[in-house]
Amino acid sequence: MQRIVVGTRNPNKLAEIQAILRDLPVELVGLGAFPDAPEVQEDGNTFEANAAKKAVTLADALGEWVMADDSGLAVDALGGQPGVMSARYAGVTHDDAANNRKLLAELDRVPTEQRTAAFRCVIALARPGQLLLTAEGRCEGRIAFAPRGRGGFGYDPLFEQPDLGKTFGELGRDHKNRISHRARALEAFREKLTDLLTAAG
């Protein structure tokens, strides 16, 4: 069984990825098992650049296959912001509540029809010395006027699915894992990884 290190210390994200890829013949472990793993500065201008940099840097440092993702929220009324700065929108502390408050302040008085947004996720897989593949997923929605729901993390309480009338924070984990940007990126990743493992025997 191929071991793949998931390049995150976020237990919520690790659990989500493990749940979605649970039927693949791979062992998924988080960075918590590698306390000496370096912190990788996410200084790219795109989700693709950040995901690839994290995967390659960690694969070289750990001598392991590493999958890493970069994801974020792009709000149309804000010209695509917060984008690659999603986790640090309100500062470097990665404070979800502060990020949500700032987003709501930026969208103050913006009407419903102009609050469209998309979650984007790019996943990269690398082994030492080589970027193996990338995959992308996207989920369209809009920004609610106030947080709703206690599920998920990040901007989930504000990201509403208009056809459901619920935010990601109000959806159960299983439902979210079927429709989220990360779920869609992981489905594309699954196909590419399956082909790669098959080719490698």
Give the span between the Cα atoms of 91 and 104, in whole angstroms.
Answer: 15
Helices then strands, each counted (H, E), the chain: 5, 7
The helix/strand/coil state of 83 is: helix
Residue 166 token pair: 């619920």
Among residues 70, 96, 156, 195, the one annotated as catalytic is 70
From the list 49, 66, 46, the residue with the least C-alpha distance to 58 is 66
Cβ-Cβ contacts under 8 Å for 37 (sequence gap 6 or more):
31, 58, 61, 62
Q: Is 108 a catalytic residue?
A: no
Q: Where are the alpha helices (DSSP H) in 23-145?
A: 47-62, 96-106
171 exposure class (CB count in 10 Å sphere: 0-12, 13-18, 19+)? buried
* 71 close to 86: Cβ distance less than 8 angstroms: yes
Q: Which residues carry out catalysis?
A: 70
